[in-house]
Structure 1
């Protein structure tokens, strides 16, 4: 393993706090990353990592060396990517909601593989806040308003939403014509990620946002369960319009309060400020943005 590869192995160990996880990310035997760090420590004459039975953490010298390695590796990848014909390669670990992955990303993946045959992808579906660096992700895709974050963000799309219910539900409780008609109605309680708070229904009325929280006989954390519960007549839901297309076509859901649409959901790609955008991550995020644009154009 050359010096730059050893530096890559070292930075991944620091980020993952684990030799084993770093080796898995890099597609190397654990012994190789262990030997790489031992070689760096011998060359530098300092101890870079503290090892315990539970985790690995950098020493003060290791933290300083990590920061220099991150900068050097990013510069090298940027330099290599500047040459005409250079092909991005390597593993990209992405956390993305499963419904978004299936609708926007998976259909275009065969073409992506043709364009970038040396890039490998790992999709995770956490549905909750993640520590991008510690958990080894290169980027995360998130819909909705973002809290203040040290992560770099790139807006990819804006998803229009609607309010939906099953015909049986509307037959039982009536069809509301305005948000003021929602007394006596119910909702499926979709919980905000990593909290126990139900996300209220939101309606745009004369340029202002009007939020309503209705009684809910059940709460859910997953978008698929949210839609399935609505199809069974258990309450109103608000979801991105693309997600309800099959149910609207089959008649298992209908739209209500169309004159008072929910606020749209922005979609962002987030990645760490600690890393310059590598060539493989840059082409992936550009491709993701194009997938969202293409899908949106088909629905216009």
Structure 2
């Protein structure tokens, strides 16, 4: 190699500074090889261990599917963080992030988990008192339960006008919330109308607690994605988590 790696004497042998540097580099190489072998072995192994997941606040409504995952894979320990801020997946140490919208970060792998159309809905008792709206203009005589974006403080518009230009309705508002669950609860109590993703009220629509209206006039859907660092091997625990949600979360 052209350099001395050892100091030798009749009684001892010791590394030279160059030898120490060479040894440290070799150790790192062997550690990387061992880590690569472990990752390859895990690909076909049993899903287990801690999985850090970042979800939007609306992710609370995904808990039935996530709870089913916990039952199906008891050796995977979920660490769930609910927030609507733009997290740094890599720097903050998340294994996977679930978000809506388009994927724009080239450092991340992504998979579409599903899409959900928006639904305008209210309780039967509410419509008994107020009547069923036949057109978006009729909403002026109804009461709205509105969602506010936590990150901006802006009130979310209701996406009305599928077959015509977007309709702006000056809807009387009785309550505003940064989370959907309180709005859904108040809608069930007959206090007003909500406009939310269909998956979030699927159970209420199925059992009649809520009824959808103006279905031909609501023009928006939301796409949910799972994103994870492209630099990391897809571990068994991450693979089964993403697969499970893609297969169950938005299935009718």
Question: In the alignment, what sits opposite 1:61?
Answer: none
Q: Is the 8 A contact 1:74 1:275 kept in 2?
A: no
Q: Is the 8 A contact 2:103 2:110 kept in 1?
A: no
Question: In the alignment, what sits opposite 2:71?
Answer: 110
Deviation readout 1:140-164 (Å, 9 max, x if unpaired): 222x424744543210111233110
TM-score (norm 2): 0.71
Question: In the alignment, what sits opposite 2:242?
Answer: 285
Q: Cα distance 1:152–1:108, how it changes in 2: closer, same or farther (>3 A)?
A: closer
Q: How many corresponding residue pairs?
A: 221
**Contiguous gaps of at least 5 residues in structure 2:** 1-19, 22-28
Q: Secondary structure at the match of 1:202?
A: coil
1:153 aligns with 2:120: no
RMSD in angstroms over aligned alpha carbons? Answer: 3.3
Q: Equivalents in 2 of 1:178, 1:163: separation in Å? A: 12
Q: Equivalents in 2 of 1:251, 1:136: separation in Å? A: 42
Deviation readout 1:79-123 (Å, 9 max, x if unpaired): 3245xx533432111123111122x2312432233xxx4x32222
Residue 276 of structure 1 deviates from its aligned partner by: 3.9
Q: Equivalents in 2 of 1:275, 1:221: separation in Å? A: 34
Question: In the alignment, what sits opposite 2:171?
Answer: 214
From 26, 32, 49, the equivalent of 1:90 is: 49
| Structure index of larger Rg | 2
Task: Name the structure where strand makes up a greater proportion of residues.
Answer: 2
Point out which structure has higher relative CO (alpha carbons under 8 A, 6+ apart).
Answer: 2
Q: Is the 8 A contact 1:145 1:265 kept in 2?
A: yes
Q: Is the 8 A contact 1:167 1:252 kept in 2?
A: yes
TM-score (norm 1): 0.61
From 115, 121, 125, the equivalent of 2:78 is: 121
Q: Equivalents in 1 of 2:150, 2:233: separation in Å? A: 28
**Contiguous gaps of at least 5 residues in structure 1:** 1-42, 45-67
Question: In the alignment, what sits opposite 1:175?
Answer: 132
